[in-house]
Amino acid sequence: LNRSIFGIFRLNKMVLQLRTSQISPKECISPRFKSCFLSFVPLLAWLPRYPFRENAIGDLISGISVGIMHLPQGMAYALLAAVPPVFGLYSSFYPILIYFIFGTSKHISVGTYAVMSVMIGSVTERLAPDSDFVIPGNDTNSTTLDIVSRDAERVKIAATVTFLSGIFQLLLGLVRFGFVVTYLSEPLVRAYTTAAAIHVIVSQLKYSFGINPQRYSGPLSLIYTVIEVCALLGQTNIGTLVVSIVTIIGLVAAKELSALAAHKIPIPIPVELITIIIATVVSWQMDLKTEYRVEVVGEIPSGLQAPVAPAVSLLGSMVGDAFALAVVGYGIAISLGRIFALKYAYKVDSNQELIALGLSNSIGGLFNCFAISCSMSRSMVQVSTGGKSQVAGAISAVVILVILLKIGELFEELPKAVLAAIIYVNLQGMMKQFGDICSLWRTNKVDMVVWVMTLILTVLFNPDMGLAASIAFSILTVVFRTQLPKYSILGQVPGTDIYKPVEDYNQVKETPGIMIFRSSATLYFANAEMYIDALYEKTGVDVAKLLSHKKKLEAKRLRKEKKAAKKAKKEAKKRLSVKEPKDVAAVEAGPDPDTDTPLPRAIILDLSPVNFLDTVGVKTLRNIYKDYGEAGVQVYLCDCVVESMEKGDFFNEKVTKSILFSSVHDAVLYCQQGNSKEVMQGTHL
């Protein structure tokens, strides 16, 4: 609202200047329009200033290296999305060019990503299961699967959900909703990617064993799939299994050797590319498809496809999946982008990243691409080979274009088991994230619980449902942390103005006659009652019981007075009634007969962890001040939210701001030295 009002005043000022011919319309509109346009198309801002001599060679080498990685990963991740491998290459071309124009991160490598691909696969196989494309054979009991029609339908579904996820990202970016990623904490993201990796591994078992298990969807689908795979192990294709095992062993050994030689070789060895070349040649020479019934990639059409409109009729059945894709893809990309931006001292615009990814997915969906995000492995290769700008990504897209136009058809004899093996080996980094459980147990047990629950929820449910359940559980832990905070009595570190919990530190000393109480969370409606209960417990003063005891003593005193008055009247009607002195009404309640705990002179409430106060919180503080005051104990507040207390009508003629202090130490000094003017100066808020 303030910005809008300021904008109106500024516009009026410009109109007045125009009328008086102080500025021209071009000077008024052009700078603002230019700034907005350049922020929307960052390419026009940084490309004219591109340092060709310094960055060109590094970006060229990096782009070629990453483009080579796109080939095996794109084809492999297409299997996860349940679409033909060539569409993984399309997804490694169109979206990269769009991000090159609109993206702000210089170092991340966008393109196909395992987690996104398996989420796409869950949608395509749910909406287009194999059972919908079974054709009766010539015999009574025989059936055949119409693979061509099935793949065409799945490509249409994948492209449509990708288009819709891109629209969601665009809308979130236009309304400046980039902060949505803050709900994806690091433990949640790491656990989610680990659980998604388990889904990926299970989905690829059929290619490694050469079997065809039934497709399951919905909750517990992963468990049902594992049971189905185990039941079909007797039908394993030995040739496919041998190809898979040999490829995995070769890839692991080659990657270890490549890691050992990394400091001697400036360019990483393209292990995956070499693997698929060797596997394709061996498959072609040995005719694995015919001799051993090993399933191969099949036809890879050359060239590019014309854009196709999304299937509008399918949009309603995939809204939840599309939104999950939008959030997960953005969360992974912006997290990695911020890491590189911090390391290399530049800024990544979170809202512009949403727009860039949204355009990449929405336009890519028109060209039959599936949803993309950012790959850690490719990004690390892009950085390690000298990539310094988005030009490296554009060059990698050119490499994929050459493959699509000329080289792609050479890989038609590549066994799918080799692509599955590439996926297994690339996921080993995600599987190492299980080590987070031990480290989180030592540092933060709540984050450890979030990690474990995210893993369990995502494994038991599909990745989209698992993400929603995990975010809900993560938010629930925040509520638990505020509802069940740690309550402490503070003591002073000798010779300092520092106060720490007495139960955590041996050297701190409690101030005689003064109790300092603190909660580790804010005070609001969900924990107000527990705050009072903890205060009674920690201070050893149950005000409710104390006031009840005081009322009983008062009632007893009144009964004695009444009895004495009646007796006096009987003795002498003309004499004045014998009464107790008036100050008897102010008799101290004394300690509760059930406890020997002496009353403190003052209680100091340290409210420094309290970042807001609702009406219930303000009322709770008012009741504490009132009840302890009736018991003869003065209450002081430190580091409190004064604005919330003023709005909650906390202060009145009896309760003034003199009970507020800027620090615990000032309040302690005030209590110890008895309201002296010297102490009061500079201590109250």
* One domain, residues 415 and 535: no
User: Chain-centre distance of CA 265, in angstroms?
Assistant: 37
* One domain, residues 395 and 500: no
Mean per-residue pLDDT over the chain, rounded: 83
* One domain, residues 171 and 250: yes
User: Which amino acid type is present at position 504?
Assistant: D
Domain that holds residue 97: 55-134+144-434
Rounded Cα distance between 221 and 125, Å, is 12
From 601, 650, 600, select the one nearest 623 (Cα to Cα): 650
From 35, 655, 66, 93, select the one nearest 369 (Cα to Cα): 93
Rounded Cα distance between 104 and 51, Å, is 17
* One domain, residues 351 and 264: yes
* One domain, residues 260 and 371: yes
Rounded Cα distance between 495 and 173, Å, is 54
pLDDT tens by residue, 455-479: 999 999 877 788 888 888 988 888 8
pLDDT tens by residue, 87-116: 999 999 999 999 999 999 999 999 999 888
Rg of the chain over all Cα atoms, to the nearest angstrom: 36
Rounded to 5 degrees, φ, ψ at 262 are -65, -35
Q: Do the Cβ atoms of 41 and 371 come closer than 8 Å?
A: no
Torsion angle (degrees, nearest 10) of CA 91, 95, 96, 97: 130
| More confidently predicted of 267 and 604 | 604
Residue 158 has a pLDDT of 95
Rounded Cα distance between 274 and 558, Å, is 99
Domain harbouring 607, CATH code: 3.30.750.24
Total count of domains within the chain: 2
360 pLDDT higher than 90:
yes
Residue 152 has a pLDDT of 93
Rounded Cα distance between 616 and 528, Å, is 7
Q: Do the Cβ atoms of 208 and 417 come closer than 8 Å?
A: yes
Give the mean pLDDT of 597-624. Answer: 86
Length of the chain: 685
Under the banding of pLDDT at 50, 70 and 90, the label for residue 229 is: very high
Under the banding of pLDDT at 50, 70 and 90, the label for residue 595 is: very low
Give the mean pLDDT of 231-240. Answer: 92
Interior angle at CA 54, CA 51 and CA 55, nearest 5? 75
394 pLDDT higher than 70:
yes
Per the confidence metrics, is the pTM higher than 0.85?
A: no
* One domain, residues 76 and 149: yes
**Over pLDDT 90: what percentage of the chain?**
30
* One domain, residues 429 and 541: no
Residue 119 has a pLDDT of 87
Rounded Cα distance between 277 and 294, Å, is 17
Last residue of a domain, one of 391, 413, 434: 434
Per the domain annotation, does 570 fall within a domain?
Answer: no
Residue 139 has a pLDDT of 67
Per the domain annotation, does 585 fall within a domain?
Answer: no
Q: What six digits make up the tokens of 333?
A: 């990309």
Per the domain annotation, does 109 fall within a domain?
Answer: yes
Write the CB contacts of 499 (distance below 8 Å, at least 6 apart in sequence): 490, 491, 492, 493, 508, 516, 606, 664, 665
Parallel, antiparallel, or unpaired for β 602-606 and 373-374? unpaired
* One domain, residues 157 and 252: yes
Write the CB contacts of 504 (distance below 8 Å, at least 6 apart in sequence): 488
Rounded Cα distance between 480 and 450, Å, is 12
N-terminal to C-terminal alpha carbon distance within the chain: 30
pLDDT tens by residue, 620-678: 998 898 888 888 888 999 988 777 777 767 887 777 888 899 889 999 998 887 654 34
Per the domain annotation, does 480 fall within a domain?
Answer: no
Ramachandran category for residue 556: left, alpha or beta (phi over 0 → left; psi -120 to 50 → alpha):
alpha
User: Chain-centre distance of CA 612, in angstroms?
Assistant: 24
Interior angle at CA 88, CA 83 and CA 90, nearest 5? 115
484 pLDDT higher than 50:
yes
* One domain, residues 279 and 216: yes
Per the domain annotation, does 444 fall within a domain?
Answer: no
Last residue of a domain, one of 413, 434, 455: 434
Last residue of a domain, one of 372, 405, 434: 434
Residue 655 has a pLDDT of 79
Rounded to 5 degrees, φ, ψ at 430 are -65, -40
Per the domain annotation, does 373 fall within a domain?
Answer: yes
* One domain, residues 370 and 513: no
pLDDT tens by residue, 506-554: 888 888 889 999 998 888 888 888 998 888 888 877 777 777 767 777 7
Q: Do the Cβ atoms of 255 and 210 come closer than 8 Å?
A: no
pLDDT tens by residue, 364-379: 999 999 999 988 888 8
**DSSP-based three-state secondary structure for 499:** strand
Give the mean pLDDT of 231-242. Answer: 93
Q: What six digits make up the tokens of 292?
A: 């051993």
Per the domain annotation, does 10 fall within a domain?
Answer: no
Residue 674 has a pLDDT of 64
Under the banding of pLDDT at 50, 70 and 90, the label for residue 226 is: very high
| More confidently predicted of 582 and 532 | 532
Q: What six digits make up the tokens of 359?
A: 């355009």
Write the CB contacts of 652 (distance below 8 Å, at least 6 apart in sequence): none
Instruction: Go through 16-53 and write b for each residue having 16 or more CB atoms within 10 A of its CB, e for each that does not.
Output: eeeeeeeeeeeeeeeeeeeeeeeeeebeeeeeeeeeee
Per the domain annotation, does 215 fall within a domain?
Answer: yes
Beta carbons within 10 angstroms of residue 267's beta carbon: 14
Q: Do the Cβ atoms of 490 and 500 come closer than 8 Å?
A: yes
Q: Max Cα separation, the chain?
A: 133
Residue 582 has a pLDDT of 46
* One domain, residues 504 and 429: no
DSSP state of 597: P
Give the mean pLDDT of 568-583. Answer: 56
Beta carbons within 10 angstroms of residue 127's beta carbon: 20
**DSSP-based three-state secondary structure for 489:** strand
pLDDT tens by residue, 306-340: 899 999 999 988 998 899 899 888 988 888 888 88
Residue 604 has a pLDDT of 93
Residue with tokens 């509109």: 29
* One domain, residues 393 and 509: no
